[in-house]
Structure 1
Amino acid sequence: MGGALFSQPWRTIPKSNQENLDFVKSYRPQNKEVSHLRILLHGPVGAGKSGFINSVDSVFQGRITNRALTDATSGSSFTKKYTTYKFHKDQDSFYSFIFNDTMGLQLNNGVHVEDIKLALNGHVTEGHKFSLEHQLKEKDEGYNSSPTLDDRVHVLVSVVPAGSVSSLSDEVLKKMREVRMTASEMGIPQLGILTRVDEACPKVKTDLKNIYKSKYLKQQVEKFSVLLGISLNCNFLVKNYNSEINTNDDINVLILGALRQMITSGEDFLNSL
C-alpha cells in the first residue's frame, strides 16, 4: 500500500457539502412513470455495499446509523435478501431515490449473476431471499413477471475496496463484467465506488483530505476503470462510516459527491427513455 502524494489533487473535492445536499434533497425524477430512482449496488463480499447505504443514511440523519446490517467477521455475504432502502427526508416524506443491496459475489457461491440480471430488469421482488443452490426462475415465489419502470434498476454501482482491486479473483471479475455488460445492453449507466480508502493508503488514514492526492489510490482507480470498463470520471473514492461515532464533513463530502453523480446519471437515463 503506497503513501506517496502528488503536490496537487488529481480531482477537486467540493469545499462545502451544502450544494450537493441541496441538490439531493430537491431531486425529483422528471419522468412521470417513476416515483423514485433505483440504484443497485453489487460487488464482491465485504466490499462495503451495506456500509455505503448506512453512510448515506448517516449523512442525512446527521448521526451514525446502521439500518443495513453489516458483518466484519464471517467472510461470507451478510446480505441474503433483496432489500430496498428508502431514506427519510422528514417525518412524512422520503428522498426520491432508493438503494437495492445484493448478496455479495464470491468465488464458489454468493449471488447468481443471473439473479442480478433479473434484478436489473425489475424481476426480483422486495424481500426475495437469494439462494446459493438455485437461481430465480419465472415460476418461483419472488419473481416479478410484469415489472414496471419503477421496478427496474436505473443506475448500477460496482463497489470494491480500494486496496483489493489488484487481488480481485478472475471469477469475481468475470461475474462483475457480465452484470455490467447486461446493464450496458439495457442502456443503464454505471459507476464505480472504491471504499476503505483509509485502509489502502496511510497518508489518507492520517488526513482524509489527501484522498485525491494519493498516487496509490489514483493507480487503483485507473486499474479498476480498465478492469471493468467504467470510465475514469465515473469512479469515486469514498470512506464509509465504520469506526466513527459522529459524522464529519470530510467523509460526507465524498459520499454526497458520489451520490450526486449516481442521481444525475440515473436521471439522464430516465429522460432518454
Structure 2
Amino acid sequence: MEMIEEVRNLKLRHPKVEHLRLLVVGPVGAGKSTLINSIGSIFQGRLYQGALADTACDTSFTQKLQTQKIRDGESEKFLPFVISDIMGLEGSASAAGIRVDDIIMVLQGHIKDGYRFIHSEPIKRQDRSYRSNPDLHKKVHCVVLVFPADKTAMMEHDEDGVIAKMREVRKGAAELKIPQVVVMTMVDKACPEVRKDLKMIYSSKKIKEKMQECSKQLGVPMNYVYPVKNYHEETELRDDVDVLLLSALKQILTFANDHVQELDNSPTFNPLKRLSTIF
C-alpha cells in the first residue's frame, strides 16, 4: 500500500528532531489506546497491543504518560514518529481524570515518560519526573483529539465539562503553535450502514453530521476531522480499516512535520547581531 511506504520513508524537516511526537487527548473510553494499537497493527502486519486498553472501565485505564514507539514489521526499525498516551479527560465534578495544566506541561515536554498523573494536584517543578529544559524532540508536534462518533450528541450541552477541557487543551496548543486535529473513532457504532460496509463512510450523511458536530464544538475545521474505525473486535487486518487510519495518520504527520520545519526556520535572538546594529 502506497501510504504505508510514504510513512516509512518520511523525512523529518528539522535536524534536531529524532522523531515526530504525537499526543492523543480525549475523554475516557474514546479509544485513544486502541487507536495507537490499531496504527501499530498496520505496520506490524498483524494485530498488535502496545498500549494497554480496557473497554469495561468507566474511569481512565491509562494512568501514566506512556510513549509508544512503532516498529515496522518489515524492516524491524522504528518509524519516524512516536505516540504519547495520557490519562483520559473526565467531567469537572469527577475526582479523577487528567488535569488540563498537566496536559499543557506534556505539550511543552516538561513531563517525563512514566509519570503517574494525580488529579488533585499538578506536577511540581521539584518532581523527579519534571524536565526543566526539554529538547525539541521531547515536545509535542501535533495534538490528536480523539472523540467517539457515537457520543457526539453530548457535545452540544457538555454537562460534565469534558468538551470545555478539550477546548482548553486546544487553546494551550494554539498558544504554542502546535497543530491540532480530531480523530473521530467508533464510526461503525454511529451509523448502521457504515457498520455493514465501512466504505459507506464516504457517503454517509450521519457520519458527515457527526464530523460537523465535532468541528463546531471543538472549533477544528472540517477538513481536520478524520473519521476512523479502530481494531477492537477483528481478529485479522482489513484493508478498509487500514485505509482510513493511514489517511488520518499521513495528514497528522504532515502537520507535525510542517510544525517542526517552522521551528527550524523561526528567527532566534542573536545578541552579537544586535550589538553590530548599535555600533
**Structure 2 length as normaliser, TM-score?**
0.90
> Is structure 2 residue 241 aligned with structure 1 residue 251?
yes
One-letter identity of the residue aligned with 2:58:
G
Structure 2 Cα separation of the partners of residues 187 and 95 of structure 1: 24
Partner secondary structure for residue 40 of structure 1: strand
Cα deviation 1:6-63 (Å, max 9, x = unaligned): xxxxxxxxxxxx2211110101212001010000000000000000000001111111
Q: 2:107 aligns with which of 101, 120, 135?
A: 120
Q: Of 54, 79, 82, which residue of structure 2 is paired with 1:98?
A: 82
Mapped pair 1:228 → 2:215: no
- Could you tell me how far apart the structure 2 residues matched to 1:133 and 1:187 are? 28
Provide the alpha-carbon RMSD of the alignment.
1.0
Indicate yes or no: 2:201 matched with 1:211: yes
TM-score by length of 1: 0.92
The residue number in structure 1 matching 2:138 is 151
The amino acid of 1:22's aligned partner reads E
Q: Is 1:28–1:36's contact at 8 Å kept on the other side of the alignment?
A: no
Q: CA deviation at 1:93?
A: 2.1
List gaps (5 residues or longer) in structure 2.
Answer: 264-279
Q: Report the residue type matching 2:62 in the other structure.
A: T
Task: Give the structure with the larger helix fraction.
Answer: 2
Bigger Rg, structure 1 or 2: 2
**How far apart, CA to CA, are the structure 2 residues paired with 1:166 and 1:145?**
41
1:266–1:112 distance in 2 versus 1, CA, 3 Å: same
Question: 2:90 and 2:147 mapped to 1: Cα distance?
Answer: 12
Output the amino acid matched with 2:224.
C
C-alpha distance in 2, partners of 1:72/1:269?
34
Q: Is 1:74 aligned to residue 57 of structure 2?
A: yes
Q: CA deviation at 1:223?
A: 1.0
What is the identity, as a one-letter code, of the residue corresponding to 2:118?
Answer: S
Q: Is the 2:66–2:85 contact (alpha carbons within 8 Å) kept by the matching residues of 1?
A: yes
> Contact 1:192–1:236 (CA<8 Å) still a contact in 2?
yes
* Count of aligned residue pairs for this structure pair: 256
What 5-or-longer segments of structure 1 have no aligned partner?
A: 1-17
* Matched position secondary structure for 1:165: helix
String of CA shifts for 1:160-181, please: whole Å, max 9, x gaps. 0001112143410111000100
Give the share of equivalent positions with the same residue, in percent: 41
**Conserved? CA contact 1:203–1:210, under 8 Å:** yes
Moved segments of 4+, more than 4 Å: none
